[in-house]
Structure 1
C-alpha cells in the first residue's frame, strides 16, 4: 500500500470504491491486534507503577534524611519517565483498550488520572474529538496544537500574531504551557463537558488535593513540592513534545472538510516517531502513532507487533529524533504548497500582503 492515500471525495466513483476497499482492508488487517490482554496489562501495571512508587519512596528518603537536593532531583528524572509511561496506560484506558473490561479501564483510568493530574472522563471526551478531527483544517481547536494557516496568520491582528508567535516559541511551548495545562487548565472542565465529565474533574481535583495535604502534613509542604514539581514539570514537557511531533512535522497531512479523509489523516497526519528501544518502552510505543490513528483501540503493548506484521503500516516513512527537531521551525500551514512552513518563509511574500494584514 502506498504512503499517500488520495481523499475519496476528490475521485471518481469507481476510484472512491477502490479507496474504500483499501481502507476496509487495512482496518481488517489491524483488527486482530485490538484485543486487550489481562496478563499483558497487569505486567505493564507492575513494571510501571511499582518503579514509579519506588522512586517516590527513594525521593522521600532523600528529603527526610537531609541528603543534597541534587540527589532528589536526579531521582526525579527517571520518575518523570515512568509518569509519562503511566500517562500512556491512562491514554489506553480512555480508548477502552488497556483491559478487556470497560469497568477495569475506568477504574485504572481514574487512578492513573490522579497521578498524571488529568481527569479521566473529561480528557477521554476531548481526546475522542481529537481523533475524529485530526488533520481537519475546519475542525481545529480541541485536543490539538494551535495551528494557523499562512492566510489566517497574515490576516490576523498584530496582537494575535504576537500571541501565536509566543505560543509557538519552543521555550514557551515545551516549558510554560505544559505546566499551565496540567496544573491549571485541567483543574477545570473543558468546554462542552457534561455532568459525568464535570464530576470526574471534581473527583480528580479532590484526590490530588488530599494527596497534597497528606504529603504536606507528613513530609512538609516544601518537601512535597520538591518531589512533585520536578516530576510533573519534566513529564509534562516530555508529553507535550511527544504530542507535538506526532502531528507537527514536514510531511504532515492537513485538509479541508470537503477533502479530508480519515485514513489519510491516520497514515499521513500522524507520525511514526522512531525511537531507541529504551525510549520506545518508556513512552509505551506511542511513537507508532500512525497505527494508533488508524485503529485507536489497539493496546500499546500490541502496536509493535502490529507494525511488524502489517506491511501497509511499514510504508510510512519514520521520523527520526534528528529530523524531529527540524519541526520546531515549522509554524504555519501553507494551503497552496500543502505543507507546514516557517515564519521566516513568509517574509518572501509581497510586502503589500503583509501591509494589508496590518491595516
Structure 2
C-alpha cells in the first residue's frame, strides 16, 4: 500500500465505522462517591497491611521469609497498580463527583507512589488530547521515526534500542517515579534563585523597585506549567520525605530502601508497560497531523487488553482503554458497563492478548510514510 493509499484509508473511514454520536456515553459519566470511597478503602488498607507484613517478614532469613517475600512483593505491586489507576482517575476528575475530593484523594495516593500527581496529570492530559497524532505525541518512550533512526550511526541505533528494552523499565520506572520529580524541583529552585538575582541586579542598576511578590509572579519556570504544579511538587516531596524518614527510622534505613527501591521499581515498570502496550500494538492508529482524528485515535489507537478478571480488578478496568479514551470522565467502575452497552460499536476495537505483549515492545519506531509502528528489524 502506498503512502497516499494508507492516508486515504485512515482519512476515509468505511461506512460501518461508528461515529462518536452513535455511542451511549453520558449515562456512564456519573461519579459515585460511595463506590469511589470503597475503592480507596479496599486498596489503601491492604497496601498498608502488606507493607507491615513485608517489613516484618524480611527481618529474618528463614524458610518463611523465603516463601512469603516474593508473594508479598507480587501482591504489593498489584495493589500499587490499582492505586495508581485510582489516582489516574482522580486526575481526570472522574473518581469522585467534586474536584476537591478528587484533588484530596489524588494527593493522598501520590504519597503512596512517591510522585507528585498534579504535574503528572497535566502531562497525561496532553496524551489524551493528542493520542494517535504521532506528529505531536510519541508516547512515554519518546519514539522517533524510521527515517530518523536510519540516519543515526550504528552505535546510536544500538543505544536507542537499549534504552527502550523492557528490562530498562525497572531502573527507568524508579527514576520516573522517585528521582525525576525531585531533580525537576531542585533545578527549578536554582532557576528561581538565578531569576531573583537577575531581578535584584536590574532593580539596583535601574533604580526601579521590584516587590518580592512581583519577582515571584514574573518567574516562568522551565519545569512547571503552573504554580499549582510547583506547590503540589513541594508538598508531595515534603510529606514523602517525612514518611521516608519515619519508616526508615522505624525498621532501619538500609532495610527500608532495599524494599522500597524494589517495590517502586517493579510497580512503576508494570504501570508504564501497561500504558505502553495499550497504545503501541500492531495495527494501532498512527496518523500524522494533517489527517488525525481524535475519535479514531481513541477507538483505534487504544487497545482492549484481554486479562483475567482478577487482573482487571488490580488495574481498575484500565483494560477497557478504548472506552476511557472515548470519554475520560467515565470512572473506572463504569468502563466495563459502558463497553457492554456499546458492544455493537466496538467489535473492531483491537483486542490485545497478554501473549502478544512482546510484539508490542518491538514496535519502537514510527514509519511516517506507511503510518504505522514498526520494529527496527522489520
TM-score normalised by the shorter chain: which range applies?
0.7 to 0.9
Paired residue for 2:93? Answer: 96
How many residues align? The count is: 332
Q: 1:250 and 1:123 mapped to 2: Cα distance? A: 27
In the TM superposition, residue 325 of structure 1 has moved relative to its aligned partner by 2.3
In the TM superposition, residue 232 of structure 1 has moved relative to its aligned partner by 1.1
- 3-state secondary structure, aligned to 2:19: helix
- 3-state secondary structure, aligned to 1:137: coil
Return 34-43 or 87-96, whichever deviates more. Answer: 34-43
Paired residue for 2:114? Answer: 117
- 3-state secondary structure, aligned to 1:340: strand
Paired residue for 1:211? Answer: 243
Q: 2:158 and 2:59 mapped to 1: Cα distance? A: 46
Unaligned runs of at least 5 residues, structure 2: 1-6, 186-221
Change (3 A) 1:309 1:97: same
Q: 1:260 and 1:157 mapped to 2: Cα distance? A: 31
Conserved 8 A contact 1:7-1:260: no
- 3-state secondary structure, aligned to 2:42: helix
How far does the alpha carbon of each residue in 1:309-335 deviate from its partner, in whole angstroms, 9 at most, with x for none?
A: 112134313111112222222221223
- Larger-Rg structure: 2
- Indicate which of 145, 150, 165 corresponds to 2:161: 165
Change (3 A) 1:215 1:299: same
- Indicate which of 249, 255, 279 corresponds to 1:247: 279
Q: 2:36 and 2:70 mapped to 1: Cα distance? A: 30
Measured on the aligned residues, the alpha-carbon RMSD in Å equals 2.6
Return 55-64 or 42-51, whichever deviates more. Answer: 55-64
Conserved 8 A contact 2:89-2:95: yes
State the TM-score, normalized to the length of structure 1.
Answer: 0.85
Conserved 8 A contact 2:18-2:345: no
- Indicate which of 156, 170, 187 corresponds to 1:175: 170
In the TM superposition, residue 99 of structure 1 has moved relative to its aligned partner by 0.2
Paired residue for 2:304? Answer: 272
In the TM superposition, residue 125 of structure 1 has moved relative to its aligned partner by 0.9
Q: 2:163 and 2:172 mapped to 1: Cα distance? A: 8
Change (3 A) 1:327 1:23: same
State the TM-score, normalized to the length of structure 2.
Answer: 0.81
Paired residue for 2:324? Answer: 292
Paired residue for 1:326? Answer: 359
1:84 partnered with 2:116: no
Return 316-325 or 287-296, whichever deviates more. Answer: 316-325
Q: 1:10 and 1:317 mapped to 2: Cα distance? A: 19
How far does the alpha carbon of each residue in 1:67-96 deviate from its partner, in whole angstroms, 9 at most, with x for none?
A: 665333431210111011100010000000
Return 105-114 or 223-232, whichever deviates more. Answer: 223-232
Conserved 8 A contact 2:110-2:236: yes
1:54 partnered with 2:49: yes
Paired residue for 1:353? Answer: none
Q: 2:56 and 2:341 mapped to 1: Cα distance? A: 46
Conserved 8 A contact 1:130-1:144: no
